[in-house]
A and B are shown apart, each in its own frame.
Chain A
Amino acid sequence: MSEDGASRIPRLRRGFRFQWEPVQSCHVLLYPEGMVKLNDSAGAILGEVDGQRNVDLIVASLQLKFPDENDLGADVREFLNDAVQRHWIEWL
């Protein structure tokens, strides 16, 4: 949870799948016998988690998609740390 985690790379944990569900019109996270519905911002952030790009690159990419939001960085970091706590994602 260190603050200089900008270069860390998150990836989905084994057995977790992120996808768009047209019928529920939202992104979901699927795992063994479970499913979480994600809100728009959680969906947008997890959509960037590919096990390749670090936190900085993820923030930059989101900033391009949502130019009206200023300083997404803090929110993104908070969400990612929270997702690690929930064991949805892990740091590489």
Chain B
Amino acid sequence: MTAAKGTGTSTQVGPPLWLLAELTYRCPLQCPYCSNPLDFAQSEQELSTEQWFSVLRQGREMGAAQLGFSGGEPLVRPDLPELIAEARNLGYYTNLITSGLGLTDAKVDAFAEAGLDHIQISFQASDPELNNAVAGSRKAFEQKLAMAEAVKSAGYPMVLNFVIHRHNIHQMPDILDLCERLGADYVELATCQYYGWAFRNREGLMPSLAQLTKAEAEVNEARERLQASGSAMKLIFVTPDYYEERPKACMNGWGSLFLTVAPDGTALPCHSARLLPIDFPKVQSTSLKEIWYDSPGFNHYRGDTWMPEPCRSCDEKGKDFGGCRCQAYLLTGNADNADPVCSKSAHHDRILAARRAADHATAGLDDLVYRNVKNSRLFFRS
């Protein structure tokens, strides 16, 4: 505790209600906005089934109720059905976050039997051509469509996720049509968040303000139409915070609700926190309880005593906690700084420059760096 910078103590800190199990970094796709670390290929070690069981048990005892299985592509883990069954047994609400590649009708049914509550399938676009180009796979789109339908007919709620960027944002009306046709219950339209591969490719991904404004109007229109028709389809549009003047309350506060366990067992307050120059503990050597309540890594940015100006004396610090530490680090070189999205930040000009660049960007899909092992190796060799 004494080594920690934050003010969090075991008594003030609430339980981690949300556990994200990143089962693997392996994935058949190559999305250029992937949130996995750039050097993911450096860490090939994965927790065993037994080790995951232990993580799940400890997390549930501490109060975690929502559990996400993600990756990489979680379907590459052959023990996924066992992990689902164990999680369901423990009382988690279990979410599978998948690209749909490697999914089959039989698996969809087997997972339901094991107690899986929900499958989220991510799409890259509303048509095969663009979808497959972004995903770096020739048959991805057809497979995704088939699996979305399989998920629905197996009785799960249908949750579709579209990652939005400058190359597909113009498809918004088609995307919404497709979701309606498929009968989705929830649609997440998630504009890229610029960490990991998306940060590396930001110039080629970030939509212009004009593009964004148009898409927002289209989404709002669709919302009204859905509401008027009594449809229960829910649209969630996550816009890029690069167009805001105040940062998001990242993860609802550092170490306040979310606990991520990376494939190699590293425990993180958020899946991108790995890029920070902070030492995070591993579940193999430290109990989850100790990690959450007592580790220097998790206490590092709890409370507000770590804040420099302008956050320190700002009356909004209880609202946004100074924004995102990863964004502060990526854009200013110091993770303690205010998130530069904030107009009070001395580094806000970096955000303004990115907006200007988005107005004039000409890069095509071919200019993006795709997320694959070969490209990843370049990042840790250099």
Please list the residues of chain A having a beta carbon within 8 angstroms of any beta carbon in chain B.
13-15, 17, 19, 21, 23-24, 28, 30-35, 87
**A30 adjacent to B65 (CB under 8 Å):** yes
Identify B91's interface contact among A19, A32, A35, A87, CB under 8 A: A19
- Point out the residues of chain B lying under 8 angstroms from A24, CB to CB: 15, 17, 63, 65
**B186 adjacent to A32 (CB under 8 Å):** yes
Give me 11 A-to-B residue pairs in the complex whose CB atoms sit less than 8 angstroms apart, sorted by A's number.
Answer: A14-B155, A15-B117, A15-B118, A15-B157, A28-B65, A30-B65, A33-B120, A33-B159, A34-B66, A35-B17, A35-B66
**CB 8 Å contact bits of B136-176 with A (1 = contact, 0 = none):** 00000000000000000001110100000000000000000
Q: Does B237 contact A (CB under 8 A)?
A: no
**A30 adjacent to B15 (CB under 8 Å):** no
With A15-B118, A17-B93, A23-B15 already in contact, the answer to whether A30 and B234 are too (CB < 8 A) is no
Expressed in whole angstroms, the minimum distance between the Cβ of A36 and any Cβ of chain B is: 11
Q: Tell me the bound Cα distance from A30 to B173 in angstroms.
A: 30
Q: A28-B65, A33-B120 are in contact. List 19 more A-B contacts (CB 8 A).
A: A13-B232, A14-B156, A14-B185, A15-B157, A17-B93, A23-B15, A23-B62, A24-B63, A24-B65, A30-B117, A31-B93, A32-B117, A32-B120, A32-B157, A32-B159, A32-B186, A33-B66, A33-B68, A33-B159
Q: Does B95 contact A (CB under 8 A)?
A: yes
- Point out the residues of chain B lying under 8 angstroms from A35, CB to CB: 17, 65-66, 93
Q: Tell me the bound Cα distance from A21 to B68 in angstroms.
A: 18
Q: Tell me the bound Cα distance from A34 to B159 in angstroms.
A: 12
**CB 8 Å contact bits of B78-105 with A (1 = contact, 0 = none):** 0000000000000101010000000000
Expressed in whole angstroms, the minimum distance between the Cβ of A57 and any Cβ of chain B is: 25
Task: List residues 191-240 of chain B with CB under 8 A from any CB of chain A.
Answer: 232, 234
- Point out the residues of chain A lying under 8 angstroms from B156, CB to CB: 14-15
- Point out the residues of chain B lying under 8 angstroms from A21, CB to CB: 63, 65
Identify A17's interface contact among B117, B185, B232, B234, CB under 8 A: B117
- Point out the residues of chain A lying under 8 angstroms from B91, CB to CB: 19
User: Nearest residue in A to B91 (C-beta to C-beta)?
Assistant: A19
Interface size class of B (residues with CB under 8 A): 20 to 34
Q: Tell me the bound Cα distance from A4 to B25 in angstroms.
A: 55
The 8 A-B pairs of least Cβ separation, nearest first, read: A15-B157, A23-B63, A30-B93, A32-B118, A87-B232, A32-B159, A14-B157, A23-B15
User: Nearest residue in B to A90 (C-beta to C-beta)?
Assistant: B232
- Point out the residues of chain B lying under 8 angstroms from A87, CB to CB: 232, 234
User: Nearest residue in A to B118 (C-beta to C-beta)?
Assistant: A32
- Point out the residues of chain B lying under 8 angstroms from A14, CB to CB: 155-157, 185
Q: Tell me the bound Cα distance from A28 to B65 in angstroms.
A: 9
With A15-B117, A17-B117 already in contact, the answer to whether A31 and B65 are too (CB < 8 A) is no
Q: Tell me the bound Cα distance from A23 to B120 in angstroms.
A: 27
Q: Tell me the bound Cα distance from A92 to B188 in angstroms.
A: 27
Expressed in whole angstroms, the minimum distance between the Cβ of A68 and any Cβ of chain B is: 32
User: Nearest residue in A to B152 (C-beta to C-beta)?
Assistant: A14
Q: Tell me the bound Cα distance from A33 to B65 in angstroms.
A: 10
Task: List residues 102-120 of chain B with CB under 8 A from any CB of chain A.
Answer: 117-118, 120
Q: Tell me the bound Cα distance from A34 to B185 in angstroms.
A: 14
User: Nearest residue in A to B18 (C-beta to C-beta)?
Assistant: A35
User: Nearest residue in A to B119 (C-beta to C-beta)?
Assistant: A32
- Point out the residues of chain A lying under 8 angstroms from B234, CB to CB: 87
With A32-B95, A32-B118 already in contact, the answer to whether A15 and B185 are too (CB < 8 A) is yes
